[in-house]
Amino acid sequence: MKAPPRLQALVEEGLIDTVVRQLMSGKEAMVYVVRRGDHTLCAKIYKEATNRSFRQAVDYTENRKVKNSRQARAMAKGSKFGREAQEAAWQSAEVDALYKLADAGVRVPRPYNFFEGVLLMELVTDAAGDAAPRLNDVVFSAEDARRHHASLLAEVVRMLCAGTVHGDLSEFNILLAADGPVIIDLPQAVDAAGNNHAQRMLLRDVLNLRDFFGQFAPELLHTDFGPEMWELYQRGLLSTEVTLTGHYQRKTGAVDMGSVLREIDDARAEDAARRLRMQQSG
């Protein structure tokens, strides 16, 4: 196919040779299958994000480092330059997270280059060599659901040991490759130690995995891996060798109503986003 304008620059730079086809289009990015020599890759073209709420942006970008004070001031003021700088920071956050997590052994697409707002990375494929499906497009046996749930929990632990929380993990941004699940879409990834919302995001990520795979293996709905994982992380005891039990005894004490209401609001927003994604994928 004819290269879209955003990809033509990569052709001219010799980063890719041809564009094969469009793979998907979402509210934040369009993804194409491209060729470079004998290799088939994936090109993610970021759109200007207009659908993220201000509160979500604040939550995810808390404590993210900005390269210079001018950008930081502009981002704080919300000027046109500031919005452009914020969008560039959002995109580069995914690139940085992919390199970091791939080096840590997390199952994510390996990144190759980032040029003019386009991320070149590994194309995740199924056993037939075709683009791998998302989890939400697959029906699992109870045995496979338990196996994939366990492997993804191990990936979440590996990410947390690398100091990162995905922040939006669900069946919509995990691909089922020939050799197991691969985690994608990381522009909202947060620093586990530096972001005050990291715990809440981790617990939500783990709950999303539980609720999805629990459709196929109902016993998973009675597990509680998130709080156990986070407590071990806070105590400096979490490692990729730790065996999680899935059981957690919550401590009793005063209830923080502000946090409870915030959790309710987040659950509603997540449910609305999930329904929208299901409509778009249907």
Tokens standing for residue 97 = 């997270």
Report helix, strand or coil for 101. Answer: helix
Catalytic residue among 38, 59, 103, 168: 168
Give the strand pairing for 164-165 and 39-46. unpaired
Tokens standing for residue 182 = 């691969």
- The Cα–Cα gap between 92 and 104 comes to 18
Catalytic residue among 59, 185, 205, 224: 185
Report helix, strand or coil for 185. Answer: coil
Known active-site residue 271: no
Tokens standing for residue 147 = 């196996």
- The Cα–Cα gap between 123 and 118 comes to 14
Cα–Cα distances (Å) from 57 to 52, 92, 162, 238, in that order, read 7, 14, 22, 28
| Catalytic positions, written as ranges | 168, 185
